[in-house]
């Protein structure tokens, strides 16, 4: 007859093996997700570029990129200027919608817009990670912090207290991340 302790050890070992297997699968899925999200973002960028090329008069270029119009400057821009990477986050201005931002930035704006609407106050990056269902690990939190700081620098968000982010007054007054 097996001992109770021996049976418990067998069950513990089986549970630990299951946990290890699930962790490995989660890591694999996270890697696949990262690749899929990158591919998705590339397609979004490609579509925006095609839209900008096909309809430059519609203002879609001005909404997605901070690039001066060469026709307004009185001539074509220098060739080296066209090779520079374009900023992902345009400087906020009256009438500019959050839809010009990439999905990650829109999620941040939406979360802060919801909090503003419910009068709940600022969010830290750790809280944002939790709200988005991410693992609250330094890499994820720092990635969110980088995006939030970029949104602050471009006028979309405010950081009245260090590490605590809210919508900028002008964005909140416009109706948030609409």
State the pLDDT at residue 70. 38
User: Is the distance from CB of 108 to CB of 144 less than 8 angstroms?
Assistant: yes
Mean pLDDT for the chain overall:
80
Give the whole-angstrom CA distance, residue 40 versus residue 104: 12
Check whether residue 170 and residue 127 sit in a common domain.
yes
118 and 61 in a single domain? The answer is no
Residue with tokens 């996270």: 30
Structure tokens at 65: 């990129």
The length of the chain in residues reads 178
Per-residue pLDDT tens digits for 9-43: 999 999 999 999 999 999 899 888 888 888 988 99
pLDDT of residue 48: 86
End residue of a domain, out of 86, 112, 144: 86
CA angle 68-86-122, nearest 5°? 105
Q: Can you tell me the distance from the alpha carbon of 170 to that of 147, in angstroms, rounded to the nearest whole number? A: 19
Which residue range is the domain that position 10 belongs to? Answer: 1-86
Write the pLDDT tens digit of every residue in 69-106.
Answer: 433 444 444 444 445 455 578 888 888 888 888 888 99
Q: Which of 86, 107, 127 is the last residue of a domain?
A: 86
């Amino acid at each position: 007859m097996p001992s109770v302790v021996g049976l418990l050890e067998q069950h513990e070992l089986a549970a630990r093996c299951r946990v290890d297997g699930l962790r490995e699968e989660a890591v694999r899925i996270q890697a696949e997700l990262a690749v899929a999200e990158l591919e998705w973002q590339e397609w979004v960028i490609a579509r925006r570029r095609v839209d900008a090329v096909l309809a430059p008069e519609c203002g879609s270029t001005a909404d997605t990129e901070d690039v001066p119009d060469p026709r307004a400057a009185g001539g074509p821009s220098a060739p080296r200027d066209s090779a520079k990477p374009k900023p992902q986050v345009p400087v906020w201005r009256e009438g500019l919608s959050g839809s010009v931002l990439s999905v990650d930035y829109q999620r941040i704006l939406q979360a802060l817009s919801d909090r503003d609407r419910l009068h709940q106050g600022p969010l830290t990056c750790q809280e944002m990670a939790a709200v988005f269902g991410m693992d609250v690990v330094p890499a994820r939190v720092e990635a969110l912090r980088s995006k939030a700081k970029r949104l602050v620098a471009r006028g979309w968000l405010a950081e009245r207290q260090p590490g605590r982010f809210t919508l900028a007054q002008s964005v909140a007054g416009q109706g948030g991340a609409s």
